[in-house]
Amino acid sequence: MDFRFTDDQLAMRDVVRDFCNEEIAPKAAWRDETHSFEDDLIAKLGSLGLFGTYVPEAYGGSGQDYITYVMTVEELSRACGATGILVSAHHSLCVDPILHFGTEEQKHKYLPKLSSGEWIGCFSLTEPGSGSDAGAARCTAKETGEGWVINGTKNFVTNGREAHVIVLFAVTDPTSKHRMSAFIVEKDTPGCTLGKLETKLGIKASSTAELIFENCVVPHDALLGERGRGLNVALATLDGGRIGVAAQAVGISQAALDFAVDYANTRVQFNQPIGRFQAIQWKLADMATNLAAARTLMYRAAWLKQNKQPYGPEAAMAKLFASEMSNRVTDAAIQVYGGYGYCADYPAERLMRDARITELYEGTSEIQRLVIARKLTQEPAWAAR
């Protein structure tokens, strides 16, 4: 048992931290304001290998371990929550299912360009009529001589604006129990168009897009995994994605704590730094304590995944706790800042807005609780470890 990072992981953390201090953090407010990423951001992230962190070198990735990946998402999110999810959604939701369910051909075709950042990836499961109840999706894929013909509307696709590669879920066998299948679709395929981009509360620079499919034909070998196993691909993928969202929440919260501590040391009221008041100390102590709890849950889930052990409920715990924690922690940061916390000249309000999403996507808090409770009630011995 060892809770420490390895030397390699620490070295990588230093590299990412330096990069974040120079490139990511200074532009976080600008990204939020303009709802965009700067033009060279993707190239810079790519040059550090941050789009294929745990993709094996044989497929053009950086070949690092999964914990290193999670740590990079944490660090990027600490500097900018939107940049964090750009990288996390790309890896967890597009690269990961191709790695796990893709054929050798698919891996060789997509992973090198995804790893370099030449192509960005996204994941398209949600539809206007099906969110938590993802199995009720209506977008269809019909098999014909030419290939699969896709029709339907998807929404809320993170990275939809930047992405070239879409991991798409569509109904192939409407009457079967196994009605949905997964596909790899390239966005420039005729019949696939980018629809509306959402205007959101937070992570404003991250695109949340509608994708419209009208008789969009993809080849037979665009199928990802077995026909009819789409929901399994989606759920297995989301298990991993939840660790990435937990890392995003932890990173955002660490930033909130860092800023709050600095402010508590420097803001003077009643002739003393406000950090001398227990009312403020309590907030800081609770922030740090809950942050530590979330972080350890997150790395445990990551370690289980890295070691190919079952990790679904553990990932749900990490995501549930980290996301709710991040909402409490960023809210506390605003309170430490007082009125300035409510103003965009200071980072606290942006952090709070960014944190809010972590309780929603890749399974809401409610869905995480259902996942955990199912495990507990069906397998009571698991509760005792």
Ligand X SMILES: Cc1cc2nc3c(=O)[nH]c(=O)nc-3n(C[C@H](O)[C@H](O)[C@H](O)COP(=O)(O)OP(=O)(O)OC[C@H]3O[C@@H](n4cnc5c(N)ncnc54)[C@H](O)[C@@H]3O)c2cc1C
Q: Are 211 and 166 in contact (CB under 8 A)?
A: yes
50 binds ligand X (CB under 6 A): no
Contact mark string toward ligand X, 230..269, x via CB under 6 A: ----------------------------------------
Nearer to other proteins, 148 or 303 (CB): 303
Is residue 106 within a helix (H) or strand (E), and if so which, with residue range?
Answer: helix 104-116
Q: Which DSSP symbol is given to 93? A: I
Considering only residues 312 to 351 of the shown chain, the ones binding other proteins according to CB under 8 A are 314, 317, 320-321
Write the CA distances from 37 to 44, 113, 150, 161, 320, integer angstroms: 12, 20, 30, 11, 28
Considering only residues 144 to 163 of the shown chain, the ones binding ligand X according to CB under 6 A are 156-158
228 binds ligand X (CB under 6 A): no
126 binds ligand X (CB under 6 A): yes
Q: Are 56 and 121 in contact (CB under 8 A)?
A: no
- Give the one residue of 125, 274, 317, 332 binding ligand X; rule: CB under 6 A: 125
* Shortest distance in whole angstroms from residue 319 CB to ligand X: 12
Q: Give catalytic residues, as residue numbers.
A: 362
Task: Tell the residue number behind the tokens 């070239």, with chain if given.
Answer: 164
Nearest to 362 by CA among 120, 35, 71, 96: 96
Task: Tell the residue number behind the tokens 């060789």, with chain if given.
Answer: 108
Strand partners, 269: 272
Alpha-carbon distance of 86 to 257, in angstroms, equals 23
- Give the one residue of 292, 342, 343, 344 binding other proteins; rule: CB under 8 A: 292
* Shortest distance in whole angstroms from residue 182 CB to other proteins: 28
Nearer to other proteins, 155 or 290 (CB): 290
Question: DSSP characters for 281-295?
Answer: HHHHHHHHHHHHHHH
Find all residues with CB under 8 Å of 148, minimum gap 6, and list them. 141, 142, 170, 172, 183, 217, 218, 219, 220, 222, 223
* Shortest distance in whole angstroms from residue 294 CB to other proteins: 7
* Shortest distance in whole angstroms from residue 276 CB to other proteins: 9
* Maximal C-alpha separation, the chain: 79
- Give the one residue of 281, 342, 343, 344 binding other proteins; rule: CB under 8 A: 281
364 binds ligand X (CB under 6 A): yes
190 binds other proteins (CB under 8 A): no
* Shortest distance in whole angstroms from residue 296 CB to other proteins: 4
Alpha-carbon distance of 165 to 123, in angstroms, equals 9
Alpha-carbon distance of 106 to 184, in angstroms, equals 9
123 binds, among ligand X, other proteins, none (CB under 5 to 8 A by kind): ligand X
The residue range among 24-32, 97-105, 348-356, 374-382 that interacts with other proteins, by the rule CB under 8 A, is 374-382
268 binds other proteins (CB under 8 A): no
Considering only residues 4 to 33 of the shown chain, the ones binding other proteins according to CB under 8 A are 4-6
In the complex, which residue's CB is closest to ligand X?
131
Q: Are 308 and 99 in contact (CB under 8 A)?
A: no
The residue range among 23-31, 124-132, 252-260, 288-296 that interacts with ligand X, by the rule CB under 6 A, is 124-132
Strand partners, 192: 213
Conformational region of residue 362, where left means phi above 0, alpha means psi within -120 to 50, and beta covers everything else: left
* Shortest distance in whole angstroms from residue 321 CB to ligand X: 16
The residue range among 40-48, 118-126, 317-325, 337-345 that interacts with ligand X, by the rule CB under 6 A, is 118-126
288 binds other proteins (CB under 8 A): yes
208 binds ligand X (CB under 6 A): yes
Nearest to 349 by CA among 247, 201, 199, 200: 201
Is residue 248 within a helix (H) or strand (E), and if so which, with residue range?
Answer: helix 230-266
Which residues in this chain contact other proteins in the complex, by CB under 8 A?
Answer: 1-6, 67, 257, 261-262, 264-265, 275, 278, 280-282, 284-286, 288-290, 292-294, 296-297, 299-300, 303-304, 314, 317, 320-321, 366, 368-370, 372-374, 376-377, 380, 383-385
